[in-house]
Structure 1
Amino acid sequence: MDLVTLRDVQAAAVRIERIAIRTPLLPFGEDFWLKPENLQPIGAFKIRGAANAIAALEPSAVITHSSGNHGRALAYAAARRKIPVTVVMPDTSPKVKVDAIAALGAEIVMVPPPQRLEVAEKLAAERGATLIPPFDHPEVIAGQGTIGLEILEDLAEQPEADVIIVPVGGGGLISGIAAAVKALRPACRIIGVEPELAAESAESLQRDRLIKWPTEKTYQTVADGVRTAPSALTFAHMREYVDDIITVSDEEILKAVGVLATQARLVVEPSGAISVAAYLYRRGFLPGGRTAAVISGGNVDPELLRSCL
């Protein structure tokens, strides 16, 4: 299986430079930085992979499946090119994410969680549209990897990054970051973080084979953006490049959302806060050294945010 290369990620950086912003590295403690992708135009890192895939593939129509952020990113990027988009969403998706996608003019198809991929593939075949999945695609992975380039560049004038902590769901984000970072700085440790209730990647690496949990279990976690299992493609990247994956509880995730809001002044959704939850509450499981944590998104339900405060 061909893995995404540094050259792929560098090409993606050129394609997306006018649509995805270069988010800053924010100091948040001694030798600890936050990479706040919640500041992207659609509130999540997904804009990078979506914009790169659309630019590279030049589709006439797009279909995807998404819990929210990828669908919104595709709708945003496609609207700039007047490309129609259909987003198949699990019927458990937060209303704030559904409404945001609808506001961008995308067609939304709601389905039970286990059917999202099947329905998206069926619609793409029926309509002759291009399927751009949320993580299982090399152009999507390459786009997400541009975060890794930026982290290394922004710390280049200081002692380099020793550890990068990355949220893990389907694995596209950590696959792209790890592929880029390990090519430029092999000694940098790439650590993934998953909710305890959706720790399929951690178990897959432990068993050295792809493991999938039932959605009845993974959809219990409050971190709705990381409820999906890795694909064969993303698991291959993780097995090659990722040093470890640790887990955090939902309680720790929600506490991290509150800490980020009150101390870092960042509005972060639970999926985006899991990397910081690991740093705050599972420090003993992390390598030492200069550390950057990726905050993957900020599209949080207002009522949930209020409860965390």
Structure 2
Amino acid sequence: MISLDDIQDANRRINGHVRRTPLAVSPSLSEICGASVGLKLENQQTTGSFKLRGATNAILSLHTAARKKGVAAASTGNHGRALAHAARAVGSRATICMSKLVPDNKVFEVHRLGADVRIVGNSQDDAQKEVERLAEEERFTILPPFDNPHIVAGQATIGVEILEDIPDVNTVLVPLSGGGLAAGIATAIKSKHPHCKVIGVSMRRGAAMKASLDAGRPVEVEESPSLADSLGGGIGLDNQFTFAMCRDLLDDIVLLSEAEIAAGILHAYEREREIVEGAGAVGIAALLSEKIIRPAGPLVVVLSGRNVDMNLHRRVVNGEIDPFGGDK
């Protein structure tokens, strides 16, 4: 539903606006897996997550008049931060709607970058309804966090970089929420290397894309606090792009407990010297939990972001495996 040409256009468009992130081999994970494991360090992106790629591509694709009017989006934090940054860079303004479940540190950063922030309801769906109301009243352009071809094409540039660094990659583990990252990377990778497996990884609590794929259509899920807060939220009952792309392109989906996600955060910190949020740690967690069949060749794990509340991070690395209680 997006083409290789779309991805190449996005790659050219965002060049100079976002960072080409490193891909570092992990000796510890390579030893555990018996195969080379590389870490795609999107946690080192300018705004602390991969979201800057899609947001920048989408903003730069708008006509001048639309940029002048402003943009709006619902967000679990990282898309809002990225969109605020990208909008400010081109002289536009961003209005970001977030639910009460979004951590304070992420809300603060969106404020800091100059966006108008609205806290609405207890779910991503509640925040999206407010976005739609504001867009109707203010004539903002809605730039959603995942279900938009320019957003997906921007995230797909990660796949382009992975193939440039490891042309014979056998498996890619991608955090999975609304599907923009997973769908984009899968499109880029499989267009050049169709036999490479792309596996989505999410938390057990409220995995909307997995529930939707199991149901054969987009469905709503109950949102709960999770270490992988960035993976929360629904995919939209009127999802136009990412549901079908994930259905057709992903080879598997792995779900993790909070304890397993905590182990991924801890490993990233102690063994890789990387600070990652829960969503960014799920690929590592999937390997540590042995939920990924041992790969036959090079494997890449996408560390999608670092924007974790540092008090929460400290609690996890000090051994608190489920700060929110419940699922072990």
TM-score range normalised by the length of the shorter chain: over 0.9
Q: Considering only aligned residues, what root-mean-square deviation do their CA atoms show, in Å?
A: 1.3
| In structure 2, distance between residues paired with 1:128 and 1:234 | 25
C-alpha distance after superposition, 1:58-100 (max 9, x if no partner): 3221111101100000110111111011100111211111111
Displacement of 1:298: 0.3
Cα gap change, 1:286 to 1:68, in 2 (>3 Å): farther
Partner of 1:86: 95
Partner of 1:26: 24
| In structure 1, distance between residues paired with 2:5 and 2:158 | 14
TM-score, reference length from structure 2: 0.89
More displaced 10-residue stretch of structure 1: 41-50 or 223-232: 223-232
Partner of 1:101: 110
Instruction: Give the alignment partner of residue 245 of structure 1, picking from 245, 253, 264.
Output: 253
2:194 counterpart SS class: coil
Consecutive unaligned residues in structure 1, runs of 5 or more: none
| In structure 2, distance between residues paired with 1:170 and 1:96 | 22
| In structure 2, distance between residues paired with 1:129 and 1:286 | 47
Structure 1 position 139 matched with structure 2 position 150? yes
* 1:248 and 1:282 in contact (8 A); partners too: no
Q: Superposed, which structure 2 residues align to 1:180-199 within 5 Å?
A: 180-199=188-207
C-alpha distance after superposition, 1:177-216 (max 9, x if no partner): 11111111101000000101122322333343333312xx
Partner of 2:170: 162
* 1:201 and 1:235 in contact (8 A); partners too: yes
| In structure 2, distance between residues paired with 1:39 and 1:298 | 7
Consecutive unaligned residues in structure 2, runs of 5 or more: 31-35, 318-328
| In structure 2, distance between residues paired with 1:228 and 1:190 | 22
Displacement of 1:259: 0.9
1:197 counterpart SS class: coil
* 2:204 and 2:257 in contact (8 A); partners too: yes
Displacement of 1:287: 4.5
Partner of 1:304: 312
Displacement of 1:20: 0.9
Amino acid at match of 1:70: H
Partner of 1:64: 73
Partner of 2:243: 235
Displacement of 1:286: 5.8
| In structure 2, distance between residues paired with 1:234 and 1:78 | 24
Q: Superposed, which structure 2 residues align to 1:122-137 within 5 Å?
A: 122-137=133-148
For this pair of structures, how many residues does the alignment match?
Answer: 301
Partner of 1:152: 163
1:143 counterpart SS class: helix
1:120 counterpart SS class: helix
Displacement of 1:258: 1.1
* 2:169 and 2:298 in contact (8 A); partners too: yes
Displacement of 1:56: 0.7
Amino acid at match of 2:59: I
- Percent sequence identity is 39
| In structure 2, distance between residues paired with 1:132 and 1:77 | 12
Cα gap change, 1:64 to 1:240, in 2 (>3 Å): same
Partner of 2:10: 12
Instruction: Give the alignment partner of residue 54 of structure 1, picking from 59, 76, 98.
Output: 59
* 2:254 and 2:291 in contact (8 A); partners too: no
